[in-house]
Amino acid sequence: MTNLKRFAVVPRKMKPDASKGDKMKIPVHIQFHDMEPSDALEASAREHAHRLESFAPDIMACHVHIDLEQKHKHQGRPFGVRIDVTLPGHELVVNRVQNEDVYVALRDAFDNMKRQLEDVVRKRRGQEKQHALTLHGELVRLDDAGGFGFIRTPAGDEYYFSRDNVAGTPFDHLQIGSAVQFIPEAGGEGFQAKRVSLGKHGMGEPPAE
pLDDT value of position 202: 38
Whether 163 maps to a domain, the answer reads yes
pLDDT value of position 55: 85
User: Same domain, yes or no, for 109 and 190?
Assistant: no
pLDDT value of position 69: 86
Q: How far is CA 157 from CA 92, 137, 178, 203, in A?
A: 42, 9, 16, 19
Of 99, 19, 110, the closest CA to residue 62 belongs to 110
Read off the pLDDT of residues 84-108 as tens digits, 9 standing for 90 and up. Answer: 999 888 999 999 899 999 999 999 9
User: Same domain, yes or no, for 160 and 116?
Assistant: no
pLDDT tier at 4 (50, 70, 90 boundaries)?
Answer: very low
pLDDT at 10 over 80: no
Type and span of the H or E element at 22: helix 18-23
User: Same domain, yes or no, for 104 and 151?
Assistant: no
pTM of the model: 0.52
Pairing of strands 158-162, 179-187: unpaired
As a whole number, mean pLDDT of residues 142-154 equals: 93
pLDDT value of position 200: 53
Q: Domain with 144 in it: what CATH number?
A: 2.40.50.140
User: 20-24, 77-81, 134-138: which range is least confident on average?
Assistant: 20-24
SS3 200: coil
Spatial distance between the Cα atoms of 209 and 206, rounded to a whole number of angstroms: 9
Q: Domain with 98 in it: what CATH number?
A: 3.30.160.100
Spatial distance between the Cα atoms of 137 and 191, rounded to a whole number of angstroms: 13
Residue where one domain finishes, among candidates 131, 152, 176: 131
Which pairs count as long-range contacts for 153-157, CB under 8 Å and 24+ apart, including other chains?
157/191
Spatial distance between the Cα atoms of 99 and 80, rounded to a whole number of angstroms: 7
Spatial distance between the Cα atoms of 45 and 47, rounded to a whole number of angstroms: 5
Which residues span the domain enclosing 41?
20-131
Task: Answer yes or no: are the C-beta atoms of 52 and 27 closer than 8 Å.
Answer: no
pLDDT value of position 187: 64
